[in-house]
Amino acid sequence: MSVRWVVGVDIGGTNCVVAAVPFQGGMPAAVRALPTRPQRGPDAAVADIAAMAEEVIGEATGSEGGSRSDVLGVGIGCPGPLDLETGVIGATPNLGWEGYPIRDRIAEALGLPASLDNDANCATYGEWWQGAGRGTGSLVGVTLGTGIGGGFVEGGRILRGASGSACEIGHMTIALEGRRCGCGNDGCLEAYASGPAIAARAREGLREGHASILPELVDDLETLTAATVYEALTLGDAFAQDVMTETARLLAVGLANLVNLFNPEMIVVVGGVTRAGEHLFEPLRSEVRRRAFRSAVNACAIVPGALPDTAGVIGAAGVFVMERRR
Amino acid sequence: MSVRWVVGVDIGGTNCVVAAVPFQGGMPAAVRALPTRPQRGPDAAVADIAAMAEEVIGEATGSEGGSRSDVLGVGIGCPGPLDLETGVIGATPNLGWEGYPIRDRIAEALGLPASLDNDANCATYGEWWQGAGRGTGSLVGVTLGTGIGGGFVEGGRILRGASGSACEIGHMTIALEGRRCGCGNDGCLEAYASGPAIAARAREGLREGHASILPELVDDLETLTAATVYEALTLGDAFAQDVMTETARLLAVGLANLVNLFNPEMIVVVGGVTRAGEHLFEPLRSEVRRRAFRSAVNACAIVPGALPDTAGVIGAAGVFVMERRR
């Protein structure tokens, strides 16, 4: 019997990634990516996605007697909020496609059944299905970038919640009297440990006069990003390590809460921040250990993702497989 | 066919409650309670529990041609930490029975198969199975008393976690620079919204000179408890309402986090604090609404438990039924 395939689609504010993923699990046979350019509107992006999908399908099924009938469907990951019942996009700032029926438009364009879930759930599911979390009974994924999101997989199933918005990890209050967040809450984790928060912490320290290689890595302090801090870490910069240690201390508050609430076998952290490696993970594990319940900490591995560029697209395909096995 | 029964056992630091609960669900046919007196040691308590169990079995099966063979097993709820694999009690301050194989001792005493789960999971499961949460797809229970605990039921199953310690809600950090908790963490919800925290807040306000009926309700401010505050509320005391509004504001931080993380259909609050009624729930719902994601708040009812005295014992029996249906 020939291999069966699922097309994974990972729609981001910057790029759209499309891949042919084996239904039984495994690495993608073919991957394509194009800039999303969301301001063009969703129809143009769907046309690009459909064209990339036909390419990866052709590449994946082109050998060993495969055919298009070996493609069982398409799994789509997209920034939320989403209406998972209807497959319609909500008020998503990065895209601006509110009200667009993304699931059905892609399904129609490809003539394939489609699933839809948010990007953080897909990245989490990808790491559980084919990445760092393979074989775990329960796993929390934490996606750390411009924002902080997450997902929870238990028994092979993603926790979606009553309105499809479970695991909004970034909007957990960790500071009672913390600053107001755009979401309306105060003291959200996202304000303390996201990529922009890391960059802001670094800029603040530099303005206070801390010695560092960081100013040499950027033209202007305003263009300094979290990625600049990761670069300085690899160059042995002590101030960059201080910034990362403080970030780890704050992120650990959120992760300790996740350990005490979900008691998972693993927390997998995905996103650019994993480039900080043990500069992040060593102080992170140490502080989570101090804060969370001993038995729960002992049961929980805290690790970086194993699929830095493809967790989202693999997980999007994985969610389609999960729904088929419901 | 005659009715089948499960014996529920709810072991607390103060009392042990035993009930005969219909396997198919429903209210207990018979309930007994005795003081635990944990300092006697666990064997004496188990002897009391076994005697009460035989009484409720006799009462439940004594009519309509029932017999002891209609009793399928016993479900036990007990303060944690517990080893759910082995059925052994951990370092539980309220009992002091560390290392005692409570599940198997009760099973042997009654000659029945037994299940074990912690008291907060049992109370949550009881409210889902037969109480306020009947018919909900997902529910978070929050038990508010001397400590704060909780549980999460989804699809009729309790989330236990990798080491049996999921939903340690009271030890969620809500205040980054908050005071050190006995658990080793800082700024735990329990320190801000438990029964003792309510009493401490009231005493502090009274010492600052706030006018209130509270001093008239106790011989000595040191004997003032959360229950005194609930009593003052029913008498229309304005200061007691201020204490409860502040408690609601702090509890709401934790509940908003639960809404954003679990996105449940319902949060059911159980324990003596529910005696404060709308004095608590009105400001609580209002503050959760401000803090948590709109779609998740709209999907989530926040209600008091419907089984004030029996959620734990009914839920203990319910967990036995749940395990039978695995």
- Strands in A30-35's sheet, in edge-to-edge order, are A30-35, A15-22, A5-11, A71-78, A114-118
Give the helix/strand (H/E) hosting A179: none
Which chain A residues have a beta carbon less than 8 Å from that of B250? 176
Quick one: pLDDT at residue B94? Answer: 82
* Structural domains in chain B (count): 2
Alpha-carbon span A316 to B7, nearest angstrom: 45
Domain that holds residue A115: 5-128+310-324
Alpha-carbon span B94 to A238, nearest angstrom: 47
Same domain, A47 and A86: yes
Provide the CA A121 distance to its chain's centre, in angstroms.
7
- What is each CA distance from A88 to A7, A82, A100, A147, B25, in whole angstroms? 19, 6, 5, 22, 39
Q: Could you give the residue ranges of the DSSP H alpha helices within chain A?
A: 42-61, 102-110, 119-130, 190-193, 195-207, 214-217, 226-234, 238-262, 278-291, 294-298, 311-324
Give the helix/strand (H/E) hosting B248: helix B238-262
Average pLDDT rounded to a whole number, residues A181-185: 85
What residues form DSSP beta bridges with A139?
A153, A266
Quick one: pLDDT at residue A1? Answer: 63
Average pLDDT rounded to a whole number, residues A129-142: 98
Q: What is the 3-state secondary structure (H, E, C) of B62-83?
A: CCCCCCHHHEEEEEEEECCCEE
The helix/strand/coil state of B118 is strand
Could you read off the pLDDT of A259-297 as tens digits, one per residue? Answer: 999 999 999 999 989 999 999 999 999 999 999 999 999
Give the helix/strand (H/E) hosting A159: none
Alpha-carbon span A122 to A25, nearest angstrom: 14
Tokens of A71: 């493609």
Residue matched to tokens 């001093």? B215
The helix/strand/coil state of A18 is strand
Side-chain-side CA neighbours of B25 within 13 Å: the count stands at 10
Same domain, B26 and B151: no
Provide the CA B217 distance to its chain's centre, in angstroms.
27
Q: Is residue B112 less than 8 Å (CB to CB) from chain A?
A: no
Could you read off the pLDDT of B250-285 as tens digits, one per residue? Answer: 999 999 999 999 999 999 999 989 999 999 999 999
Query: Residue A287 belongs to a domain with what CATH number?
Result: 3.30.420.40
Question: Is residue B81 reached through a cis peptide bond, with omega within 30 degrees of 0 on the bond before it?
Answer: yes
- pLDDT category of residue A64 using cuts at 50, 70 and 90: low
Alpha-carbon span B49 to A199, nearest angstrom: 60
Average pLDDT rounded to a whole number, residues A307-317: 96
Confirm if B72 and B5 have CB atoms less than 8 A apart. Answer: yes
A167: nearest CB among B166, B261, B299: B261
ipTM greater than cut 0.90: yes
Q: Which residues of chain B fall below pLDDT 70?
A: 1, 64, 326
Which chain B residues have a beta carbon less than 8 Å from that of A251? none
Quick one: pLDDT at residue B182? Answer: 80
Alpha-carbon span B299 to B89, nearest angstrom: 37
Same domain, A208 and A265: yes
B88, B165, B180: which to substitute to probe chain A, counting the most A Cβ within 10 Å?
B165
- What is each CA distance from B109 to A259, B68, B112, B196, in whole angstroms? 36, 14, 8, 37
Could you read off the pLDDT of B90-121 as tens digits, one per residue? Answer: 988 889 999 999 999 999 999 999 999 999 99
Quick one: pLDDT at residue B130? Answer: 98
Same domain, A147 and A271: yes
Quick one: pLDDT at residue A149? Answer: 96
Could you read off the pLDDT of A209-243 as tens digits, one per residue? Answer: 999 999 999 999 999 999 999 999 999 999 999 99
Same domain, A86 and A154: no
Same domain, B123 and B173: no
Residues in chain B, overall count: 326
A172: nearest CB among B168, B171, B257: B257
Same domain, B56 and B159: no
Same domain, A92 and A196: no
What residues form DSSP beta bridges with A237?
none
Side-chain-side CA neighbours of A247 within 13 Å: the count stands at 30
Same domain, A188 and A146: yes
Alpha-carbon span B305 to A104, nearest angstrom: 41
> CA nearest B269: which of B145, B167, B168?
B145
Quick one: pLDDT at residue B64? Answer: 67
CA A63-A64-A69 angle, 5° bins: 80
Q: Is residue A291 less than 8 Å (CB to CB) from chain B?
A: yes
Cβ-Cβ contacts under 8 Å between A and B: the total is: 148
Give how far B234 is from chain A: nearest CA, Å: 29
pTM (two decimals): 0.96
The helix/strand/coil state of A116 is strand
8-state DSSP, B308? T
Query: Do the chains contact at A168 and B256, CB–CB below 8 Å?
Result: no
A293 C-beta neighbours (distance < 10 Å), count: 23
Quick one: pLDDT at residue A112? Answer: 98
Same domain, A39 and A148: no
Query: Do the chains contact at A293 and B165, CB–CB below 8 Å?
Result: yes
Calculate the average pLDDT of chain A.
95
Average pLDDT rounded to a whole number, residues A47-64: 93
Same domain, B148 and B296: yes
Could you read off the pLDDT of A6-29 as tens digits, one per residue? Answer: 999 999 999 999 999 999 999 999
First vs last Cα of chain B: how many Å apart?
23
CA B243-B244-B249 angle, 5° bins: 100
What residues form DSSP beta bridges with A304?
A269
- pLDDT category of residue A190 using cuts at 50, 70 and 90: very high
Give how far A70 is from chain B: nearest CA, Å: 33
Same domain, A174 and A275: yes
Nearest residue in B to A265, CA atom: B162
Confirm if A264 and A152 have CB atoms less than 8 A apart. Answer: yes
> CA nearest B9: which of B316, B324, B271?
B316
> CA nearest B162: which of A139, A127, A129?
A139
Residue matched to tokens 């390590």? A241
